[in-house]
Structure 1
Amino acid sequence: MKEKKLIKGNEAFAMAAINAGCRYYFGYPITPQNEIPEFMSRELAKVGGAFIQAESELGAINMAYGAAAAGGRVLLSSSSPGIALMQEGISLLCSVQLPLVLINVMRGGPGIGSIQPAQADYNQVTKGGGNGDYHCIVYAPNSIQEAMDMIYKGFDVADEYRNPVIIAADGMLGQMMEPVVVPPARAAAEEKDIPLIKPYALTGHKCKRERNAINSVWLKQELLEDYINEYWPKYEKAEKELPEYVTKNLEDAEVVFVAYGSTSRVVLEAMEILARDGIKAGLIRPKTLWPFPKEAFKEIGASTAHVISVELSKGQMMNDVKLAIEGRYPVSLISRVGGMLLDPVEVADRTKTILEVM
């Protein structure tokens, strides 16, 4: 049996990134993710890495762009309004197809908002706040262990698809402590191997390779159209290969919840409360927010009368739920916003009210 360590979420996130071979971190302090840069500032140099606290989130994302362009494994982290400041850079990274992992420890908004946990960045990370045709691959962990595993895997996915990967955590996961199995440490790629692993990287003339250029400016629109059409199939491939989800008790459920992240843990307790009252409930938990796991909704049984999206936002995920449902069931919302959290009793009581007025 593998040894478990009791560790705080944010520190676990950083540890998983280092063990995945990340050697470059850029960020700027913002609550509730500050333990990530603190951990990186202390630990990254021990494995030969480089930590830079930028002058701003704008500086951080553009520094990360440079390190990714040179072939490094790069981690960025921030929280909601900080991610908002990075949107132009995220669009730029997608346009030039550079991989990195970005952790968003979400807090209440809009604007500066609160420093409490929230999920109101769903549209920001899945639909994109930057300009142009692109997607970010988005994972949504519901435990510290799952977050570590997703971060560890996320670097490989980012490299495979040459695309930013976002880990959509929240303040609750960042600040809580849980026992985890730490993923095994990998050796970082050596400089001499980067031209072979990442032939697009800007590694300098000494590597004796063809000249590389990383370009995001296309003055002739037909050339830009050709370029977008050339890279777009990777997103179609991602929609087929990357969706992940977990289901529970869908076969004979009267009501099916859809919830992700730490909110899904609240829903699991609410389901137990409803079961004691004779109401059978099921759950679909998306582990990827983009691509959204539409196939999961085909598993809903004939006994289901209602689907309820449970989230810490004003129904941002519910729009994707409705698209996946394709009008087969009525869809309702149970939510809190602004950093306010749901509790299992509230979810159960509000579910009963929804079912009574059907």
Structure 2
Amino acid sequence: MAEEIRLMKGNEAIGEAAVRAGCRAYFGYPITPQNELTAYMAKHMLAKGRTFIQAESEVAAINMVFGASSTGARAMTSSSSPGVSLKQEGISYLCGADLPAVIVNVARSGPGLGGISPSQGDYFQATRGGGHGDYYTIVLAPKGVQDAADLTYEAFSISEKWRVPVLILADGLIGQMMEGVVLPEPIDPATLPRKPWAVGHAVEMGRPYNHVTSMNLVPDELEAANHARYARYELIKKDINRYEEIDVEDADVVFVAYGTSARVSHGALQMARAKGMKVGLFRPISLWPFPYARLHELAEKGKRFLCVEMSMGQMIEDVRLAVNGKAPVYFYGRCGGNIPSQEEVFAEVARLMGK
């Protein structure tokens, strides 16, 4: 029998998807606008006999994730923009130790303490590693509640496959909105296979003891480890290359937008199409790896691109890299917690098209 549709907040759907994915340990610290996620995990993780800890700080929470992940457990944390900044040292440690983890950022406006309204100003932080050293995290961007649940559920297996943390980059609107969602089938954590790289169980698994750390004081060894990690990143780029397209084939101008901005752009697209304007939408779902190749193909077909972001313009740099001078790239954005309306975006594309 198919799972029934449930009306849930985005934050709650992320939490339920994580529980159903077999998350064994959640560590977090309160910050708006993701507090419903922490509250949901407090109730449902403990009810299932799993680990929930409200840590004394974001720094403590991410280091608890490191410890739990090193044992092979599916571990997770969540926060919002300033809190994720505080976690960056620990995220770098996770990447340096090749540990899987799921990290959720329900982003708010900034910089600094900023405000509690939605924003997409954390794109650079998410897609460029965010902390010290040479590393990346896999970044997935939902556009709604169903997407948020599906991507969170899948993030655990992706992270374990590649031994790279996966960051779910949502925003305050997606976290707070309520939509119908069909939830995935639950996984019993006890049925998940043990990890050969994890600490513990050395005797029963008949292998040497593992030492999980990001520290290496021998330059040649650390250099070799970084080269090996980047070789794995190249494989990830071939494996994860996700996007959604709407009406791009005959489009003269293509919106490029992710998350909430993609929802707004879809509304603007429908307004434009109703007036006979050939407008399309390209929505990156994997922000790292970014779907450069497909955007380049569209640029070679003579498309123009309008990036729509809830920031001063960050993803536009990846769009320009993808287009590589083959087509014009324009920008429309709102920031400070303001969300662009579909009427505003429509007016901008109409101006570009001389309508």
2:131 counterpart of 1:134: no
Structure 2 counterpart of 1:231: 229
1:203 aligns with 2:204: no
SS, match of residue 78 in structure 2:
strand
TM-score by length of 2: 0.96
Q: 2:353 aligns with which of 336, 352, 355?
A: 355
More displaced stretch, 261-270 vs 201-210: 201-210
TM-score normalized by the length of structure 1: 0.95
Whole-angstrom distance in 2 between the partners of 1:234 and 1:205: 26
C-alpha contact 2:118 2:337 (8 A) present in aligned 1: yes
**Match of residue 7 from structure 2:** 6
Equivalent in the alignment of 1:267: 265
Aligned partner of residue 68 in structure 2, secondary structure: helix
What residue in structure 1 maps to residue 219 of structure 2? 221
Tell me, in whole angstroms, the C-alpha distance in 1 between the residues paired with 2:180 and 2:249: 32
Among the aligned pairs, what percent are the same residue?
45
Supply the distance in 2 between the matched residues of 1:258 and 1:160 (Cα, whole angstroms). 29
Quote the RMSD (CA, aligned, Å). Answer: 1.6
- Aligned position for 1:306: 304
Equivalent pairs counted in the alignment come to 353
C-alpha distance in 1 between matches for 2:214 and 2:3: 46
| Partner residue, 1:334 | 332
- Map 1:226-305; keep pairs closer than 5 Å: 226-300=224-298, 304-305=302-303
Specify the code of the residue in structure 2 equivalent to 1:224. Answer: L
Partners of 2:328 and 2:220 lie apart in 1 by 44
- Aligned residue for 1:307, secondary structure, equals strand
| TM alignment of 1:60-71, pairs within 5 A | 60-71=61-72
Q: What is the rounded CA distance, in whole Å, between the counterparts of 1:220 and 1:296 in structure 2?
A: 40
**How many angstroms does 1:254 deviate by?**
1.4
Aligned AA (2:61): A
SS at match of 2:268: helix
**1:156 partner letter:** S
The letter of the residue matching 1:271 is L
Cα separation, 2, equivalents of 1:111 and 1:260:
23
Cα offset, 1:279, TM superposition: 1.4
**In the TM superposition, what is the alpha-carbon distance from 1:230 to its structure 2 partner?**
2.0
- Report the alpha carbon displacement of residue 301 of structure 1 after superposing the two structures with TM: 7.3
Alignment partner, residue 182 of structure 1: 183
Whether the 8 Å contact between 1:256 and 1:304 is mirrored in structure 2 is: no
| Structure 2 segments unaligned to the other structure (5+ residues) | none
**1:181 counterpart letter in structure 2:** V
Contact 1:284 1:296 in 2 (8 A): no
Stretches of structure 1 that go unaligned for 5 or more consecutive residues are none
Q: Matched residue of 2:84: which SS?
A: helix
Aligned-residue offset at 1:314:
1.2
Asked if structure 2 preserves the Cα contact closer than 8 Å seen for 1:247 and 1:296, the reply is no
